[in-house]
């Protein structure tokens, strides 16, 4: 009995140490945020976990001490087959979780409004607008103000709010996720959603699709790079020299389902492309592209 107990304790300790090592490593993206949105979401996660532990840890202690004390082997324990706690005890059992849930509800209401993905981020810098289109199975990023676009590559200036408009074309539902910068939002064909993100500093991250959409699902990832504002401006100039132009015809080629992990920079983009993509599904009988 005693050895079994020790083995159990040892297993728990190994498990906890292993978990801590994993969570401490840089690979644990959600717990190592590099942007204000992900940072705020992590703080909320921690607050929620603490609130729940306040009630769960004592419950575990209660569970094991009751089992320990009233186990049939312990002959000294009092046996009262008709014992109940009565109305006041029951009221407390309803009341205690209710209090915790009320606190959590208030936190949730506030946080949900505060961290609404559509809510602009506070910053002195003017937001950079990027239009994201999920295709089967690649990501197209259009920078309308710069008049450029990229395939499978997301380049952003640091400490600048990024205002994303997301849609999809000819693909099932997708979820856009850059764990280190912030939470997900769906990108859906014929629909448009929005998301604000901001990188705190220079760095490289990974983004991906997080909703099953077929053969190329696992490969639908893209690198994200945040640089200084100056480097970003230089990069835009560089892209503008690229020989590739994203014309309507080329776009129609891109829409066709294919696993395509190549990075392409487009120096020119079909005018008003994002809205035309949306219009395809508003007026299905008229060719818009």
In the numeric block, the tokens 């607008």 are attached to 129
Shortest distance in whole angstroms from residue 241 CB to another protein: 31
Q: Least Å distance between CB 118 and another protein?
A: 8
Closest CA to 29 of 154, 182, 221, 186: 182
Nearer to another protein, 248 or 284 (CB): 284
Length of the chain: 289
Alpha-carbon 150 to chain mean position: 22
Least distance in angstroms from the C-beta of 3 to another protein? 14
Distance of closest approach, residue 218 Cβ to another protein, in angstroms = 4
- Give the contacts of 174 (CB within 8 A, at least 6 positions apart): 134, 168, 186, 187, 188, 209, 210, 211, 213, 220
Q: How far is the CB of 116 from another protein (least distance, A)?
A: 4
Phi-psi region of 67 (alpha: psi -120 to 50; beta: other; left: phi over 0): alpha
Which residue, 61 or 233, has its beta carbon nearer to another protein? Answer: 61
Measuring CA to CA, which residue among 242, 218, 216 is closest to residue 135?
Answer: 216
Q: How many CB atoms lie within 10 A of CB 250?
A: 13
CB of 229 to another protein, least distance (A): 27
Which has the closest alpha carbon to 36: 107, 122, 113?
122
- 204 or 249: whose CB is closer to another protein? 204
| Residue closest to 209 by CA, chosen among 181, 184, 182, 180 | 184
Nearer residue to another protein within complex by CB, 29 or 202:
29
Pairing of strands 221-227, 154-157: parallel
The first and second tokens of residue 13, run together, are 């300790």
* Closest approach of another protein to the CB of residue 225, in Å: 16
* Residue whose CB is less far from another protein, 54 or 233: 54
Nearer to another protein, 40 or 247 (CB): 40
Distance from C-alpha of 227 to C-alpha of 237, rounded to nearest angstrom: 14
List beta partners, residue 168: 134, 189
Give 9 or 218: the residue with its C-beta nearer to another protein: 218
């Amino acid at each position: 009995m005693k050895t079994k107990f020790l083995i159990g304790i040892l297993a728990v300790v190994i498990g906890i140490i292993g978990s801590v090592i994993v969570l401490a490593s840089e690979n644990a993206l959600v717990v190592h945020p590099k942007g204000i949105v992900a940072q705020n979401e992590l703080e909320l996660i921690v607050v929620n976990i603490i609130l729940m532990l306040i009630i769960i840890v004592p419950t575990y202690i209660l569970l094991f001490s009751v089992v320990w004390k009233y186990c049939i082997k312990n002959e000294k324990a009092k046996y009262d087959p008709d014992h109940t706690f009565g109305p006041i005890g029951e009221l407390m059992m309803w009341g205690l979780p209710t209090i915790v849930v009320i606190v959590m509800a208030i936190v949730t209401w506030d946080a949900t409004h505060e961290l609404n993905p559509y809510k602009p981020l506070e910053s002195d810098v003017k937001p950079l607008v990027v239009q994201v289109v999920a295709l089967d199975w690649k990501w197209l990023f259009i920078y309308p103000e710069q008049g450029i676009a990229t395939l499978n590559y997301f380049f952003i200036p640091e400490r600048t709010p990024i205002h994303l408009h997301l849609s999809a074309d000819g693909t099932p539902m997708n979820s856009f996720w850059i764990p280190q910068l912030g939470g997900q939002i769906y990108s859906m064909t014929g629909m448009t959603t929005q998301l604000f993100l901001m990188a705190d500093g220079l760095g490289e991250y990974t983004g991906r699709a997080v909703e099953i959409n077929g053969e190329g699902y696992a490969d639908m990832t893209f690198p994200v790079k945040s640089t200084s504002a100056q480097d970003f401006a230089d990069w835009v100039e560089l892209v503008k020299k690229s020989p590739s132009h994203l014309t309507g015809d080329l776009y129609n080629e891109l829409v066709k389902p294919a696993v395509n992990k190549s990075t392409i920079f487009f120096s020119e983009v079909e005018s008003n492309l994002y809205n035309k993509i949306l219009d395809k599904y508003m007026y299905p009988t008229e060719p818009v592209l």
